[in-house]
Amino acid sequence: MSKVALLLGSLRRPGNGIGIASWLHPVLREGLNDTSSGTAHTGVDVVFVDPTKPPLPLGPIVDGSHVPADIRDPSKHPNPNVREFATFVTSCNGIVVLSPEYNRGYPGELKNTFDHLYWEWHKKPVLLVTYGSSGGANCSALLRSFLGGPLKMQVAEKAVAIKLPKSHSNGSDKAPTQGPAPDWLEQYRPEVLAAVAEFKDLISQQSSS
Amino acid sequence: MSKVALLLGSLRRPGNGIGIASWLHPVLREGLNDTSSGTAHTGVDVVFVDPTKPPLPLGPIVDGSHVPADIRDPSKHPNPNVREFATFVTSCNGIVVLSPEYNRGYPGELKNTFDHLYWEWHKKPVLLVTYGSSGGANCSALLRSFLGGPLKMQVAEKAVAIKLPKSHSNGSDKAPTQGPAPDWLEQYRPEVLAAVAEFKDLISQQSSS
């Protein structure tokens, strides 16, 4: 059984993140378990990581006695929450990041989450899905730069950038958490599935290496 | 009486941040109150903002009912901690950011701090002081981009990038919090004072506009 984490960049409630995640979760599961495209995987579990609940509520980085790069064994992180998260990340075959863009960058909480660990991220395949009035393209580019750079993750070339309708980015409408997905979201299904096919190959190469 | 906030990007204890801040604080006060360079100011108070204590422990951004850009009046933020921080920022004539670089970017907590507010930052003069093995140059560039861009702050052209000795960036040595400042830090005094002279002019122009 493989495991993929769906990591949310936004904690805003209500917000568009939770609705987009509700739609994305089954699409990822479908794509990851589809044997007709990309590398054949079956039985891939997608674990929804709500950053307001364990194993993610890591808090600010306060422990200066060891920087994450000093800790090669996930069980050696001094803080129990970080240790739990490190063990969880190590157990995952890949990570999907679903993130909004705040002020032309990634949300602080998301950067904070990644900065808590170091070796746990190395070579881990990651797929980027961002959203915003312009699809979160700046956030996506910045994530790619530091995840693929200093953290040495394997970032899938194909990324998905979901443009929110104006009523959802500046207005009070939010992506629904139940019922059928709206057209503005559903139209990204083929793009997500194509990106997942590449992501599956990265996972497969990593598992067999 | 003018007021400048010295905002720390790092919460790590022990770390280099607190030692560099201990050195920077009186240098800023000296530069801001020096009437011989830049615009004459007297009686400028520098408020050290320790992000582990009020008014800064803002937590993750969870309130999705209003994005910060919707709230023009600092007293209208729904969360009391955010409201307190908004009032504090509004009362400051300028902001000095002292930040380490984590994984080629700004620490998540620092981005999170800025993302909580919006109108409160507009036109506010800001001076960037970063540190790291390469002086935190990437962090500085990313901060300049979003503070001067979407948040419309007035970022001083002159920024200070403090290169940590290798024993302090990768080793266990940390900038001292007491006693005389080490040479590797003290050598940046003229650079800080030159940057403060420009920063003072920005504050002065803002106060008189």
Secondary structure class of A185 (helix, strand, coil): helix
Q: Where are the alpha helices (DSSP H) in B118-188?
A: 137-148, 166-169, 183-186
Q: Return d(Cα A53, Cα B61) in angstroms, integer.
A: 14
* CB nearest B102 (choices: A13, A65, A115): A115
* Spans of all domains in chain B: 2-208
Do residue B14 and residue A103 have CB atoms under 8 angstroms apart? Answer: no
Token pair listed for B154:
């007035």
Of the pLDDT bands very low, low, confident and very high (cuts 50, 70, 90), residue B6 is very high
Find where tokens 């990634």 sit: A106
Give the model's pLDDT for residue B170. Answer: 81
Which contacts of A73-81 are long-range, i.e. CB under 8 A and separated by 24 or more positions? A74/A117, A74/A119, A74/A120, A77/A117, A81/A54, A81/A55, A81/A57
In this predicted complex, what is the ipTM?
0.88
* CB nearest B104 (choices: A12, A112, A145): A145
Give the model's pLDDT for residue A51. Answer: 59
Q: Return d(Cα A104, Cα A141) in angstroms, integer.
A: 10
Token pair listed for A90:
């190590």
Task: Tell me which chain B residues have a C-beta less than 8 angstroms from the C-beta of A66.
Answer: none
Q: Where are the alpha helices (DSSP H) in chain A?
A: 17-33, 80-91, 108-115, 137-148, 166-169, 183-186, 189-208
Q: Return d(Cα B165, Cα B133) in angstroms, integer.
A: 7
Biggest distance spanned by C-alpha atoms of chain A: 50
Closest CA–CA distance from residue B66 to any residue of chain A (Å): 9
Give the model's pLDDT for residue A1. Answer: 72
Compare all CA atoms of chain B with the CA of A174 and give the residue at the minimum distance: B64
| Cβ neighbours around B201 below 10 Å, total | 16
Identify the sign of the CA torsion B16, B21, B26, B30: positive
Compare all CA atoms of chain B with the CA of A12 and give the residue at the minimum distance: B62
Instruction: Indicate the average pLDDT of chain A.
Output: 89
Do residue A62 and residue B109 have CB atoms under 8 angstroms apart? Answer: no
CA distances in angstroms from B167 to A65, A69, A106, B163, B199, listed in the order given: 14, 15, 31, 11, 32
Of the pLDDT bands very low, low, confident and very high (cuts 50, 70, 90), residue B195 is very high
pLDDT for A160 beyond 90: yes
Q: A-B interface: how many C-beta pairs under 8 angstroms?
A: 108
Of the pLDDT bands very low, low, confident and very high (cuts 50, 70, 90), residue B42 is low
Within 8 A by CB and 6+ apart from B49, the residues are B5, B6, B7, B8, B55, B56
Residues A40-80 have pLDDT tens digits of: 556 778 877 765 665 555 777 777 777 888 889 999 988 88
A166-195 as b/e, with b when 16 or more CB fall inside 10 Å? eebbeeeebbbeeeebeeebeebeeebbeb
> Cβ(A132)–Cβ(A164) under 8 Å?
yes
pLDDT for A174 beyond 80: yes
> Cβ(A9)–Cβ(A169) under 8 Å?
no
Find where tokens 């994530």 sit: A143
Residues A80-139 have pLDDT tens digits of: 888 988 999 999 999 999 999 999 999 988 998 899 999 999 999 999 999 999 999 999
Mean pLDDT of B99-123: 93
Token pair listed for B71:
């709230």
Q: Return d(Cα A209, Cα B190) in angstroms, integer.
A: 53
Give the model's pLDDT for residue B14. Answer: 80
> Cβ(B107)–Cβ(B10) under 8 Å?
yes
Q: Which helix (H) or strand (E) holds A161?
A: strand A160-163
Closest CA to A7 of A75, A79, A94: A94
Cis peptide before A74 (omega within 30 of 0): no
Within 8 A by CB and 6+ apart from B193, the residues are B27, B30, B31, B34, B37
pLDDT for B177 beyond 80: yes
Which residue type, as a one-letter code, is found at position B133? S
- Pairing type for strands B154-155 and A2-8 reads unpaired
Closest CA–CA distance from residue B194 to any residue of chain A (Å): 29
- Higher pLDDT: B1 or B42? It is B1
Give the model's pLDDT for residue A150. Answer: 96
Of the pLDDT bands very low, low, confident and very high (cuts 50, 70, 90), residue B128 is very high
Token pair listed for B5:
């906030």
DSSP assigned state of B182: P
Angle between helices A108-115 and A137-148 (to 10 degrees): 10
Angle between helices B108-115 and A108-115 (to 10 degrees): 170
* CB nearest A13 (choices: B51, B64, B146): B64
Distance of CA A86 to the CA centre of its chain: 15
CA-based R_g, chain B, Å: 17
Please tell me the class of the A2-208 domain.
Answer: alpha beta
Give the model's pLDDT for residue B79. Answer: 87
Tell how many helices (H) and how many strands (E) occur in chain A.
7, 6
Find where tokens 């939010």 sit: A174
Instruction: Indicate the average pLDDT of chain B.
Output: 89
